[in-house]
């Protein structure tokens, strides 16, 4: 089997997990990782699907590359070196995870946390571009926050908590174009729902999209309308009909992080840049929710007269 050809270097998402900066190493890792993602939503039939076969190979390469780092870091840890990142926490934890368990966890986090958030950012930009009134209101909210700060001052948690319209935009983006269209569950016992029985052991697909785009739940459900969330508290989900992050014991552990990331991204985007679409693009729902061409835009730096 090929050795992972991942020279030393660095990346944003890998940095957060393992203290690596963007560079050649992480760029090679990213390429393999994208192949993993491509295969993620294909039918798992290795004999028929090249994408699936490629993804399995790429997953092995990603795991091997991460294993090398984990091994190196374990040695450093045993020599007493201290680092302040997720890998350090996993190595130091009371659970005594094996290298294999740690690698599996890191791959799972990359898959669960990267594509989801970056796609939702792209979709938010597309919806805002197509809804100029929403974009104007969003800019106003963020310019208000920026006006109270010096040019280089970072956002604080209290700033994040004072972005009510941004939270409406986040909710509405997740509603109209939920990246995870639903979740599988297995019935642990016979379940009766509205006169139907789901027998024990059956697998069920709970479709979020069917609910999020249901006109009985959301008026003009296919229209991007962030203002519909203003009648709610803004930041939280209205109960069981809005579940972009799943629910119950398997609720997405990254749900607040994803919301913060999107809000902070929008803050910097609308206060520093203006943009226009570089090409026509459209929303597709299969095999995953995304824009067909990843919504390329031409970006210009703005004059920040308000700060
Ligand atoms: C817009 C961004 C995101 C969306 C829409 C999303 C959505 C989801 C959904 C629907 C699930 C399944 C929940 C269930 O089975 O009930 C899930 C699971 C998970 N998510 Fe996210 N997620 C996002 C971002 C993130 C981020 C940023 C991370 C971590 C950095 C993350 C980590 C995970 C993990 C580890 C699981 C598996 C949890 C388990 O099986 O117990 N997600 N996510």
CATH number of the CATH domain containing 276: 1.10.630.10
Does residue 251's CB lie within 6 angstroms of at least one atom of ligand 1? yes
Longest CA pairwise span in the chain (Å): 63
How long a stretch of residues is the chain? 307
Output the pLDDT for position 305: 55
| 227 CA → ligand 1 middle, Å | 26
Q: Quick one: which atom of ligand 1 is closest to the CA of 262?
A: 1
Distance CA 177, CA 222 (A): 9
Whose CA is closest to atom 36 on ligand 1?
A: 252
Residue nearest to atom 30 of ligand 1 (CA): 113
CA of 116 to the centre of ligand 1 (A): 8
Ligand 1, residues 252, 259, 262, 290: which to mutate, most atoms within 8 A of Cβ?
252
Is the C-beta atom of 182 inside 6 A of ligand 1?
no
Closest ligand 1 atom to the C-alpha of 258?
27
pLDDT > 70 in the chain, percent: 89
Count of structural domains, the chain: 2
- Which among 69, 97, 71 has a CA at the least distance from the CA of 11? 69
Average pLDDT, the chain: 87
Q: Tokens 């900066």: give the residue.
A: 21
Q: Beta-carbon neighbour count of residue 179 at 10 Å?
A: 19
Ligand 1 centre from 250 Cα, in Å?
8
pLDDT at 9 over 50: no
Q: Is the CB of 186 under 6 A from ligand 1?
A: no
Ligand 1 test: best mutation among 117, 254, 263, most atoms within 8 Å of CB? 254
Per residue in 221-261, pLDDT (tens digit) is 999 999 999 975 443 445 578 999 998 899 999 999 999 99
User: For the chain, percent helix, then strand, then coil, each to nearest 5?
Assistant: 50, 10, 40
Q: Is residue 209 part of a domain?
A: yes
From the alpha carbon of 116, which atom of ligand 1 is closest? 2
Indicate the SS3 state at residue 290: strand
Q: Taken in order 214, 216, 221, 222, is the CA torsion positive or negative?
A: positive
Q: Are residues 222 and 292 in the same domain?
A: yes
pLDDT digits (tens, 9 = 90+) for 118-134: 999 999 999 999 999 99
Q: How far is the C-alpha of 124 from the C-alpha of 172, rounded, in Å?
A: 9
Query: Strand, helix or coil at 207?
Result: strand
Instruction: State the Cα torsion 265-271-274-276 to the nearest 10°.
Output: 40
Measured in angstroms, how far is the CA atom of residue 112 from the centroid of ligand 1? 6
Per the model's pLDDT, the better-predicted residue between 86 and 94 turns out to be: 86
- Structural domain contains residue 127: yes
For 177, the 3-state DSSP assignment is coil
Whether the CB of 200 sits within 6 Å of ligand 1 = no
Is 6 a residue whose pLDDT tops 70? Answer: no
Question: Does 245 contact ligand 1 (Cβ within 6 A)?
Answer: yes
Query: For the segment 132-158, what is each residue's pLDDT rounded down to a tens digit?
Result: 999 999 999 999 999 999 888 999 999
Q: Which of 28, 32, 31, 26 is nearest to 12 (CA)?
A: 26
Residue owning the nearest CA to atom 21 of ligand 1? 252
- 94 burial level (CB within 10 Å; 0-12, 13-18, 19+): exposed
Distance (Å, rounded) from C-alpha 104 to C-alpha 1? 19
Name, of 81-85, 196-200, 240-244, 301-305, the range with top average pLDDT.
196-200
Residue 1 domain-assigned (yes or no): no
Q: Is 252 one of the annotated binding-site residues?
A: yes
CA of 255 to the centre of ligand 1 (A): 7
Is 2 part of any domain? no
Cα–Cα distance for residue pair 188/185, rounded to 1 Å: 9
Q: Which of 16, 112, 177, 205 should be mutated for ligand 1, with most atoms under 8 A from CB?
A: 112
Domain presence at residue 192: yes
Q: Cα(204) to centroid of ligand 1, in Å? A: 18
- Report yes or no on 3 lying in a domain: no
Same structural domain, 36 and 148: no
Which residues lie closer than 8 Å to 277 by C-beta, 6 or more apart? 126, 129, 295, 296, 297, 298
64-87 pLDDT, tens digit per residue, is 999 999 999 999 999 988 888 889
Among residues 47, 72, 97, the one where a domain terminates is 97
Scanning the structure block, which residue is given the tokens 């990346």?
A: 11
Give yes or no: residues 142 and 285 share one domain.
Answer: yes
* Structural tokens at position 154: 């970072």
The mean pLDDT value for 211-230 works out to: 93
Residue 159 domain boundaries? 111-301
User: In 79-163, which ranges are continuous DSSP H helix?
Assistant: 86-92, 99-130, 132-147, 157-160
Classify residue 46: in a domain, yes or no: yes
Domain-located, residue 106: no
């Amino acid at each position: 089997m090929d050795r992972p050809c991942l020279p030393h270097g660095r990346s944003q998402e890998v940095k957060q997990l393992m203290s690596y900066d963007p560079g050649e190493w992480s760029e090679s890792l990213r390429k393999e990782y994208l192949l993993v993602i491509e295969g993620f939503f294909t039918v798992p039939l290795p004999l028929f699907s090249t994408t699936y076969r490629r993804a399995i190979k790429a997953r092995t390469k990603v795991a091997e590359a991460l294993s090398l780092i984990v091994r190196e870091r374990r040695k450093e840890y045993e020599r007493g070196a201290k680092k302040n990142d997720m890998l350090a926490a996993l190595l130091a934890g009371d659970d005594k995870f094996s290298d294999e368990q740690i690698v599996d966890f890191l791959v799972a986090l990359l898959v669960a946390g990267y594509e989801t958030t970056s796609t939702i950012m792209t979709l938010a930009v597309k919806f805002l571009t197509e809804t100029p009134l929403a974009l104007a209101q969003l800019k106003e909210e963020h310019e208000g926050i920026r006006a109270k700060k010096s040019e280089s001052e970072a956002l604080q948690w209290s700033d994040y908590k004072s972005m009510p319209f941004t939270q409406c935009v986040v909710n509405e983006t997740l509603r109209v174009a939920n990246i995870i269209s639903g979740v599988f569950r297995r019935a642990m016992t016979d379940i009766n729902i509205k006169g139907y029985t789901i027998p024990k052991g059956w697998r069920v697909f709970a479709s979020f999209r069917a609910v999020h785009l249901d006109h009985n739940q959301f008026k003009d459900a296919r229209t991007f309308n962030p203002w519909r969330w203003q009648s709610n508290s803004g930041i939280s989900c209205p109960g069981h009909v809005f579940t972009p992050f799943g629910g119950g014991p398997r609720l997405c552990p990254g749900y607040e992080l994803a919301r913060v990331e999107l809000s902070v991204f929008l803050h910097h985007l609308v206060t520093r840049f203006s943009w226009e679409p570089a090409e026509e693009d459209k929303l597709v729902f299969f095999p995953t929710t995304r824009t067909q061409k990843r919504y390329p835009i031409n970006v210009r730096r703005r004059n920040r007269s308000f700060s």
